[in-house]
Amino acid sequence: MKNRDTFSSQIGIVAASAGSAIGLGNIWRFPYMAGKNGGSAFIIIYLVAIILMGYPLVYTEFAMGRRAKTNAVDTFGIIGGKKTWNSVGFLAVLTVFLISTFYMMITGWVIYYFYHSLTGGLYHISPSTDSVTYFKSVFTHMSSSMGIPLIFSMIAIYITALINSIGIKEGVEKYSKIMMPVLLVLFIILIGYSTTLPGFSQSMTFLFKPDFSVVTPAVIIGAIGQAFFSLSLGMGALITYGSYISKTENIRKIAKQVTFADTAIALFSGLLIFPAVFTYNLEPTAGPSLIFISLPQVFLKMPGGRWFSVLFFLLVIVAAITSLVSMLEILITYTIEKTNWTRKTSTWVIVFLTTIGGAINIAGEGPLSFVQIGGRTIFDWLDYLTNNITIPLVAVLTAILAGWVWKNVHLNKELEIGGTPSTMLDHQFNSILKWLIPPTIIILMIALILGIEA
């Protein structure tokens, strides 16, 4: 095998992996999922899922990747000792390809909103126009057309590809180390402002005072799916990054830092968005359009809102690009190792395929939006199927593979390289892979498929 690139430092691995984890899932999807599913009850289940299922799977994926030192598909076969396991890896890679096609579309929307906040065009509204109607029409006008979203999403994917085409150390690692601090600074500025709004305490109640009467299997699987999506699990991302981690690094420590950073940013995103929503009497349950229709109304009413809007959309762009980088990296690493093409060729082939997928999603929201199955557009279906079915399925099979086939001794051996001897608590986390994750997720998925509502 050719000499593989590696990350050069722990901080670089954490920046790249946290960059992968922190993305639209935290800032766009988490608040609206929490908003739609009863707020704090959803958040509590989400937090339990992060600790009991997310964290152990994060270190497992890293360890599998570092052990196998290859692309996500072949990693499964190597760890499982049988080629049939590759099919799980293939499902993971297919999932990430499908996700990247709608992720680039939404990132394109965000770039559009950033651009129009910067020029001020987004807020050119005559005083007599109703702001709800206005922002709805801005969003519909943008998302229902073809050319504009396509151009903006292509900008997103090209910026990403430029980073990937350089390589791991000089591309992915270096740019993550620049972008993550920028993200943090933007976040702190925006949160600081948010806490001064009158709706802050109301959103604390909404986010942290649970109402368990709204919990159904669908809400639970939604929260678990959100936890996995947010940590980039079940899609080969951390396996791929793990394959570039050197044997001197402490994987458990890195996994803790990445899990913590991702969760903190999701919770703070709630605190960033809901105070504004409550202060201006908007619906927290708005759904995917929360940041595109509700938030701009808030920015319009806030003093200095336009600049808040510029910073907010810039924040989302930075978060989304570092996630897109990791998605492309899974596909690129796989392509390079299967074809022997150079990194540059592989990158542009993947960009080409993703762009076609992106265009199909964009058409599905726009000119082809009449093509709906069961009331869902192509994007709705992809989002639903990946988050509720393929991601949990890959996650469960990963837990079975690591817990039952690879076994704790081998997992621990890999984790102790560059780390410290496993403690009692570490062993207990490993047992979760065997005893908790598989039955819980399987039962929930069956309940979901059978349409059981509590």
Contacting residues toward ligand PFF, per CB under 6 A: 20-21, 23-26, 96, 99, 229-230, 232, 235, 237, 323, 326-327, 330
Report the residue number, 12 or 419, with the smaller CB distance to ligand PFF: 12
Q: CA-CA distance, 408 to 412, in Å (whole number)?
A: 6
Q: How far is the CB of 128 from ligand PFF (least distance, A)?
A: 39
Q: How far is the CB of 230 from ligand PFF (least distance, A)?
A: 4
Q: How far is the CB of 225 from ligand PFF (least distance, A)?
A: 11
Report the residue number, 53 or 99, with the smaller CB distance to ligand PFF: 99
Q: How far is the CB of 326 from ligand PFF (least distance, A)?
A: 4
- Residue 376: strand pairing partners: 373
Asked whether the beta carbons of 288 and 123 are under 8 A apart, the reply is no
How many helices and strands, by DSSP H and E, does the chain display?
22, 0
Nearest residue to ligand PFF, by Cβ distance, number only: 25
What letter represents residue 18's amino acid? Answer: A
Asked whether the beta carbons of 76 and 401 are under 8 A apart, the reply is yes
Report the residue number, 235 or 267, with the smaller CB distance to ligand PFF: 235
Asked whether the beta carbons of 109 and 292 are under 8 A apart, the reply is yes
Buried (b) or exposed (e) across 399-412, using 16+ Cβ within 10 A? bbbbbeebebeebb
Sort residue 281 into left (φ over 0), alpha (ψ -120 to 50) or beta.
left
Report the residue number, 21 or 223, with the smaller CB distance to ligand PFF: 21
Residues in contact with 43: Cβ distance below 8 Å, sequence separation at least 6, in sequence order? 34, 207, 208, 210, 267, 270
Q: How far is the CB of 26 from ligand PFF (least distance, A)?
A: 5
DSSP string for 354-400: HHHHHHHHHHHHTTTTT--BTTB-HHHHHHHHIIIIIHHHHHHHHHH
Q: How far is the CB of 327 from ligand PFF (least distance, A)?
A: 4
Report the residue number, 160 or 408, with the smaller CB distance to ligand PFF: 160
Total Cβ atoms within 10 A of residue 39:
24
Q: How far is the CB of 330 from ligand PFF (least distance, A)?
A: 6
Report the residue number, 316 or 401, with the smaller CB distance to ligand PFF: 316
Report the residue number, 28 or 114, with the smaller CB distance to ligand PFF: 28
